[in-house]
Amino acid sequence: MKTDTNKQPYLPLQSPVGQSWKFFVYSAIGIFMFFIPVEIGGKSSIMLDHIVSWIRMQFPAIVPYYAFIVILLGAVYPFITKTWNKDAVTIVFSVLKVLGLIVAAMLLFNVGPSWLLKPNMGPFLYDKLVISVGLLVPIGSVFLALLVGYGLLEFVGVWMQPVMRPIWKTPGRSAIDAVASFVGSYSLGLLITNKVFKEGKYTIKEAAIIATGFSTVSVTFMVVVAKTLGLMDIWNTYFWVTFFVTFLVTAITVRIWPLSKMSDDYYDGKGQPEEKVTGNYMKEAWSEAMKAVQHSKGLLQNVWVNLKDGFIMTMSILPSIMSVGLRKKVDTCFLRN
């Protein structure tokens, strides 16, 4: 399939107050919510994590049922839309989602085999992963509109182009994904990747590289793993080794099958690839940011579109976590014993 770059027309380098303030204000709010650690109640984390923690503390009896409803919707969604059997991979995941629904029901209503109901098995997975991701992704999607919808992605992309493209074969704008995944959550990284991919700013190959490379690890879940395995005493070593290995492995996997052979087409055949910068980086970065601002949607419309996409993604993620995640948890416990 021939790729149509469908490039936006060049706009004069202007920054009227009515447009440029969106770049500064909305991007600053997005950066604060996703990347800036804040200490509240003795806990240092990003604001999105604090919001999720507050919701869980205020509504402890409701959030488990909310997560179950999302899992239920996610399990039946492929069958309602009649997409469950479009290919072999979709069939497998549709079955896994149904299995995840069954496991979630057993945990929620406390029925099933004793090994499943042990605190460090099913309940651990449901509480630490399912509920957290079920809240984090929809809430994060609201602020995602501010982070990537008003020029920050394009501004950072110009500066990071000389680094990201040669090493990881992804656009400079993918640096936002990498940081969001590590500092915030891998699920937020996937959310960003999904949005940018559907906007035609990543090819199929680039989106796959980012999702399987940068969006596989996060500090928040690393803390959970470190506490579970008793690694907090060597946290700094654990963090930096994980960081280095993640980016090193990604640099290797992009050069081997299957990632190296994936399609360079865009989501709907039309794309907005980054142009190679040859002039003044600051001038080019500002120009690209202002173009993005001038073509951006209104705030409420942007938030609504992101929230809808985020909830659909949550419906897809949670049932799979319950089935695939439980299998991995069983394997881990078996190896430790």
| Residues 103-142 pLDDT 10s | 999 999 999 998 889 888 889 889 988 998 899 889 988 8
pLDDT of residue 227: 64
Q: How far is CA 9 from CA 279, 292, 294, 297, in A?
A: 19, 11, 12, 17
Instruction: Please check whether residue 112 lies inside any domain of the structure.
Output: yes
Does the residue 9 lie in any domain? no
Whether residues 122 and 208 fall in one domain: no
Per-residue pLDDT at 269: 82
Q: What is the pLDDT of residue 10?
A: 44
Query: What is the DSSP-derived secondary structure letter of residue 260?
Result: G
Tell me the C-alpha distance between 85 and 82, whole Å: 7
Integer angstrom CA distances of residue 199 from 195, 208, 301: 6, 15, 15
Rg (CA), the chain: 21
Element (H, E) at 45: strand 43-45
pLDDT given at position 8: 45
Instruction: Let me know if residue 6 belongs to a domain.
Output: no
In the block, tokens 């039309």 appear at: 270
Looking at the DSSP assignment, which residues form a beta bridge with residue 39? 44
pLDDT digits (tens, 9 = 90+) for 19-65: 889 999 999 999 998 878 888 988 877 888 889 889 999 999 999 99
Instruction: Clarify whether residues 168 and 217 are in a common domain.
Output: yes
Helix, strand and coil content of the chain, in percent to the nearest 5, comes to 70, 0, 25
Residues 167, 89: one domain?
no
Q: How confident is the model at residue 336 (pLDDT cuts 50, 70, 90)?
A: low
- Are 21 and 140 contained in the same domain? yes
Choice among 152-156, 199-203, 231-235, 331-335 with the minimum mean pLDDT: 331-335
Question: Same domain for 270 and 286?
Answer: yes
Tokens representing residue 255 in the block = 């050069």
For residue 2, being part of any structural domain is answered with: no
Residue 225, CB half-sphere, CA atoms under 13 Å: how many?
A: 13
Please report whether residue 320 resides in a domain.
yes
pLDDT tier at 14, thresholds 50, 70, 90: very low
* 18 — pLDDT class (breaks 50, 70, 90): low
- DSSP notation for 215-250: GG--HHHHHHHHHHHT-GGGHHHHHHHHHHHHHHHH
Question: Residue 268 — very low, low, confident or very high, per pLDDT cuts 50/70/90?
Answer: confident
What is residue 10's DSSP assignment? Answer: P
Peptide bond into 258 cis (omega under 30): yes
Q: Contact, 153 vs 176, CB < 8 A?
A: yes
Statement: residue 262 has pLDDT above 50:
yes
Judgement on whether residues 283 and 306 belong to the same structural domain of the protein: no
Mean pLDDT of 91-96: 93
> Is residue 125 located within the same domain as residue 258?
no
CB atoms within 10 A of CB 88: 8
**199 and 221: one domain?**
yes
- Could you report the per-residue pLDDT of 184-238, keeping only the tens digit for each? 667 778 888 988 999 899 999 999 999 999 888 877 667 667 766 778 678 788 8
**Which is more confidently placed, 67 or 15?**
67
Do both 56 and 87 map to the same domain?
yes
**Span 251-257, average pLDDT:** 96
Mean pLDDT (whole number) for 292-298: 88
Model pLDDT, residue 195: 86
Backbone angles phi, psi at 66, to 5 degrees: -60, -45
Task: Report which of residues 3 and 319 the model is more confident about.
Answer: 319
Per-residue pLDDT at 146 exceeds 50: yes
Confidence of residue 261 (pLDDT cuts 50, 70, 90): very high
Instruction: List, as own/partner pairs, every contact residues 284-289 make where C-beta atoms lie below 8 angstroms and the sequence separation is at least 24, other chains included.
Output: 284/158, 285/154, 285/155, 285/156, 285/157, 285/158, 285/159, 286/13, 286/15, 286/155, 287/11, 287/13, 288/151, 288/154, 288/155, 288/157, 288/158, 289/23, 289/151, 289/152, 289/154, 289/155
Residue 164 has pLDDT above 60, yes or no: yes
**pLDDT of the residue at 266:** 94
* Buried-exposed string 12-46: b where 16+ CB fall within 10 A, e elsewhere: eeeeeeebbebbeebbeebbbbbbeeeeeeeeebb
Please count the helices (runs of H) and the strands (runs of E) in the chain: 16, 2
Specify whether 191 is located in the same domain as 314. no
Residue 252, domain member (yes or no):
yes
Q: How much is the pLDDT for 11?
A: 45
pLDDT of residue 333: 55
Domain count for the chain: 2
> Of 29-33, 218-222, 256-260, 330-334, where does the model show the most confidence?
256-260
Same domain, 178 and 277: yes
**Domain presence at residue 280:** yes
Reported as a pLDDT band with limits 50, 70 and 90, residue 5 is: very low
The answer to whether residues 142 and 167 belong to one domain is no
Residue of 335, 184, 331, 206 whose CA lies nearest to 266: 206
Residue 133 falls inside a structural domain: yes
- Domain with 266, as residue range(s), is 151-295
